Amino acid sequence: MEKKQFQAESKRLLDLMINSIYTHREVFLRELISNASDAIDKIYYKALTDDTLRFDQDSYYIKVEADKENKTLKIMDTGIGMTKEELENNLGVIAKSGSLAFKSENELKDGYDIIGQFGVGFYAAFMVADVVTVISKALGSDEAYKWESEGADGYTIELCQKDSVGTEVILKIKENTEEDRFDEFLEEYRLKEIIKKYSDFIRYPIKMDVTVSKPKEDNDNEYVDFVEEQIINSMVPIWKKNKSDLTDEDYEKFYQEKRYGFDKPLKTIHTNVDGAIRYNAILFIPENIPFDYYSKEYEKGLELYSNGVLIMNKCADLLPDYFSFVKGMVDSEDLSLNISREMLQHDRQLKRIEKNINKKIKSELLSLMKNDREKYEKFFNSFGRQLKYGVYSDFGTHKEVLQDLLMFYSSKEKKLITLDEYVLRMPEEQKYIYYATGESNERIEKLPQTELVADKGYEILYFTDEIDEFAIRMLMNYKEKEFRSVSSGDLGIEEDQTDSAEESNENEDLFEKMQNILAGKVKNVRISKRLKTHPVCLSTDGEISIEMEKVLNAMPDNQGIKADKVLEINPHHEVFEALKSAFEKDQEKLALYTNLLYNQALLIEGLPIQDPVEFTNDICKVMV
């Protein structure tokens, strides 16, 4: 028989195909099944326009058969088949897609999601097979043909016998080598796994003969093996079903099957978009924090399908970092795929989908906040930190998107509140949104610095996450209200201004002396406007707060950034009198008192004392 040559370019292309296009060999099966599905789509389409054909659901299917003994794998379909010419043109010319041509010849519009377009998928078979045989009988033809090829050498075509219309692709699976195992592609479990992974939502049944063990009829303890024909794929993807036909359990099952998490979804977002860009998406917000979530190992991303065929396991481009906790999938027919269907060109469609999804997640979170506060709080306790990182990251670019989703613990409500709720409740004369930072709500509650603000009846937000103050600094203001730490120099509360000014003038020398005693430790000593009952506290001038100093210095690349600390003294506290008299009579005592008060302020702030032994000795000195 005459051997026909692939076209010259085709030869090189075939080499390229076999050796370098795909990273995972297993996708050969995805490609062959996709072709089979396309072939059935075509006969289905013909049946719609040709009365002599009837499309009977049951007689259209794909079957995968492994023969371990002969090391062959057969993929057969009851699709439209190929004529001799079509075998030559479609399989003999690489990069020629009969499917693409079919689409344009028949002006197929929406609903016919033919997968093929590049005319290369078929050759993926040579990644796992030495010989590929295609036996096909075209619709309306009396003859069947056999096409056979051993790869780059070329192919043969001859007449053969086949009763029914359709195609069989038979792969002679390669022998194992030292590095590579090929016989896995003859294993039942492996084939099922691959079909499930890539072709679960092919619209036609993918059948396989599967060995199952069943108890014997007369004896429950003895098992016999049966061969049973099973349908491996689920066919209709859940995301193409009607939302009204789906229950919470259906979504939960999908979540678990897909191994999005070991928990349940806290919130499910199912969206079908049919506009300038078309896609279906099912997105989940997990109930619990994935164990590796706040670690480097965590990989964000959504599964990406094109027409029900899996393209990518984790498409990171679909999720911004601040929503990296979202799990789920997107299926779109409008994607421009690259030839291996592995990576996407970073195209406009994908960007658009990302933008849409982003908006959708935000609006769903807002509606959850509004309609199911308890659930939203649960969500926020798990992933709120990520949102706050989002506000802080990229120089605050995302703050507009995220600020309404934030929550902080409120001194008044004793629970999480939103910034909007805070601002709505602000009395007219209140200038700033106040916050206090600390290790825990309990500790912040007791901070002396909160006294004046709390006394005024103003609400204070408690910041207990390291990121909080950084995020807020990035936000700067909310609804035109600036944020202000209760420890900051200016609280914007006009009170006893003149009073304290006078006191300051009067005691200038005392404070200067104290400042000298604490040289290098505090930048300033002054009368406090914020203290009511406590004797001392620390506050800061400038941009860096004490809490920020703590965080920055805990970082590996810390640059020893220091907050400008101020020791504030309550002029109405008895201690102040003691200081004044020591200043007049006993300089040594003044030094002792000053150091004691400074160390107390450090302790209150949760900062370490430089010399705890000296501190305790100082206390004893005062006692005796």
Q: Which does 151 bind (CB under 5 to 8 A by kind): ligand ADP, Mg ion, none?
A: none
Q: How many residues bind Mg ion (CB under 5 A)?
A: 3
11-70 positions binding ligand ADP, by CB under 6 A? 31, 35-36, 39
Q: Which does 36 bind (CB under 5 to 8 A by kind): ligand ADP, Mg ion, none?
A: ligand ADP
Q: Which does 208 bind (CB under 5 to 8 A by kind): Mg ion, ligand ADP, none?
A: none
Please name which of 452, 557, 451 lies closest in space to residue 495, comparing C-alpha atoms: 452
Q: How far is the CB of 229 from ligand ADP (least distance, A)?
A: 20
CA 332 – CA 274 distance, rounded (Å): 10
553-612 positions binding ligand ADP, by CB under 6 A? none
Q: How far is the CB of 18 from ligand ADP (least distance, A)?
A: 13
**Which amino acid belongs to residue 153?**
D
Q: How far is the CB of 97 from Mg ion (least distance, A)?
A: 7
Residue 571 contacts Mg ion per CB under 5 A: no
- Residue 128 is given by DSSP the state T
Q: Which of 121, 328, 390, 448 binds ligand ADP (CB under 6 A)?
A: 121
Residues 6+ apart with CB under 8 A from 521: 565, 598
Tell how far CA 448 is from the center of its chain. Answer: 41
Measured CA angle at 245 (ends 243, 251), to 5 deg: 65
Residue 78 contacts ligand ADP per CB under 6 A: no
Q: How far is the CB of 190 from ligand ADP (least distance, A)?
A: 22
Q: Two tokens at 545?
A: 């707060």
Residue 92 contacts Mg ion per CB under 5 A: no
Q: How far is the CB of 155 from ligand ADP (least distance, A)?
A: 13
Would you say 418 and 369 are in contact if contact means Cβ atoms under 8 Å apart? yes
Backbone angles phi, psi at 58, to 5 degrees: -65, -25
- The strands making up 62-67's β-sheet, listed across from edge to edge, are 155-160, 144-149, 129-137, 166-173, 72-77, 62-67, 206-215, 223-231
Would you say 115 and 37 are in contact if contact means Cβ atoms under 8 Å apart? yes
180-219 positions binding ligand ADP, by CB under 6 A? none
Q: Which does 117 bind (CB under 5 to 8 A by kind): ligand ADP, Mg ion, none?
A: ligand ADP
Q: Which of 83, 99, 149, 600 binds ligand ADP (CB under 6 A)?
A: 99
* CB closer to Mg ion, 122 vs 379: 122
Would you say 120 and 21 are in contact if contact means Cβ atoms under 8 Å apart? yes
Please name which of 290, 304, 285 lies closest in space to residue 354, comparing C-alpha atoms: 304
Residue 98 contacts Mg ion per CB under 5 A: no
Q: How far is the CB of 14 from Mg ion (least distance, A)?
A: 15
Q: Two tokens at 502?
A: 């006078």
**What does the CA dihedral 85, 63, 199, 132 come to, rounded to 10 degrees?**
-50
* CB closer to ligand ADP, 21 vs 417: 21
Residue 83 contacts Mg ion per CB under 5 A: no
Residue 90 contacts ligand ADP per CB under 6 A: yes
Q: How far is the CB of 306 from Mg ion (least distance, A)?
A: 12
Residue 151 contacts Mg ion per CB under 5 A: no
C-beta atoms surrounding 172 within 10 Å: 17
C-beta atoms surrounding 458 within 10 Å: 23
Q: How far is the CB of 150 from Mg ion (least distance, A)?
A: 21
Q: How far is the CB of 13 from ligand ADP (least distance, A)?
A: 11
Burial grade of 95 (CB within 10 A; 0-12, 13-18, 19 or more): middle
Residue 390 contacts ligand ADP per CB under 6 A: no
CA 170 – CA 161 distance, rounded (Å): 15
Q: Which of 60, 122, 284, 383 binds ligand ADP (CB under 6 A)?
A: 122
Residue whose C-beta lies closest to ligand ADP:
98
Q: Which does 358 bind (CB under 5 to 8 A by kind): ligand ADP, Mg ion, none?
A: none
- The strands making up 309-315's β-sheet, listed across from edge to edge, are 265-274, 278-286, 327-332, 302-306, 309-315
Residue 116 contacts Mg ion per CB under 5 A: yes
Residue 77 contacts ligand ADP per CB under 6 A: yes
Measured CA angle at 21 (ends 91, 73), to 5 deg: 55
Q: Which does 406 bind (CB under 5 to 8 A by kind): Mg ion, ligand ADP, none?
A: none
Q: How far is the CB of 157 from ligand ADP (least distance, A)?
A: 14
* CB closer to ligand ADP, 165 vs 361: 165
Residues that bind ligand ADP (CB under 6 A): 31, 35-36, 39, 77, 79-80, 82, 90-91, 97-100, 116-122, 167
Contact residues for Mg ion, defined by CB under 5 A: 35, 116, 121
